[in-house]
């Protein structure tokens, strides 16, 4: 309750199950862009430096997914699909979690709002600390996520955000494409 009441930042904590809720400004993103396609949407979550009293390390991975899919994602043993769910990795050099292209998530939220099936949380997503299992391909140098679960070791991060955020605001960069027909 104490962490949740701090409106100058936001927290993710494991295994306590504290996660961050994000409200995307979908209407603002799509304003005057009804005929455009969102081809890129990047968001970076900056961490507030931990002090010497912080005993927990940063979660290595965070999962971003729609708020109303939180429980079903884990119950169904889903893996991130880069359409409605994404993995961000902690970068200690920049002290950030970056999600390079969440354009599908924004588009899906906008489409949900315009359908008759929109939930009250249609424009909300959550950041949840997770652990992942991967497998390496024998034919290429890529790895694939095979399992994802709630982080159960002691991890904690304080993120820039909250209604009384004294830091630079979280930036969401959007790239639009428009097809122009020549007659």
Q: Report the predicted TM-score, pTM, of the whole model to 2 decimal places.
A: 0.88
Q: CB–CB of 126/22 below 8 Å? A: yes
pLDDT tens-digit map of 1-41: 777 777 888 888 888 788 899 999 999 999 999 889 999 99
Question: For residue 26, what are the contacts with CB-CB under 8 A and spacing of at least 6?
Answer: 106, 109, 110, 113, 122, 123
Q: What is the mean pLDDT of the chain?
A: 88
pLDDT tens-digit map of 7-17: 888 888 888 78
> Token pair 């890129």 is at which residue?
40
- The number of angstroms, rounded, from the C-alpha of 134 to the middle of its chain's C-alpha atoms is 20
pLDDT tens-digit map of 107-128: 999 999 988 778 899 999 999 9
């Amino acid at each position: 309750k104490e962490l949740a009441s701090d409106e100058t930042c936001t927290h993710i904590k494991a295994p306590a199950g504290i996660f961050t809720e994000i409200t995307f400004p979908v209407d603002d993103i799509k304003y005057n862009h009804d005929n455009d396609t969102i081809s890129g949407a990047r968001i970076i979550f900056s961490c507030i430096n931990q002090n010497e009293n912080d005993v927990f390390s940063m979660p290595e991975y965070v999962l971003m997914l729609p708020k109303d899919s939180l429980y079903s994602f884990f119950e169904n043993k889903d893996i991130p699909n880069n359409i409605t769910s994404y993995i961000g990795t902690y970068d200690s050099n920049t002290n950030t979690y970056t999600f390079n292209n969440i354009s599908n998530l924004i588009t899906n939220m906008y489409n949900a709002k315009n359908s008759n099936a929109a939930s009250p949380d249609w424009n909300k997503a959550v950041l949840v600390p997770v652990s992942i299992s991967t497998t390496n391909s024998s034919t290429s140098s890529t790895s694939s996520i095979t399992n994802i679960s709630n982080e159960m070791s002691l991890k904690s991060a304080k993120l820039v955000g909250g209604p009384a955020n004294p830091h630079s605001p979280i930036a969401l960069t959007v790239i639009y494409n428009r097809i122009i027909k020549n007659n």
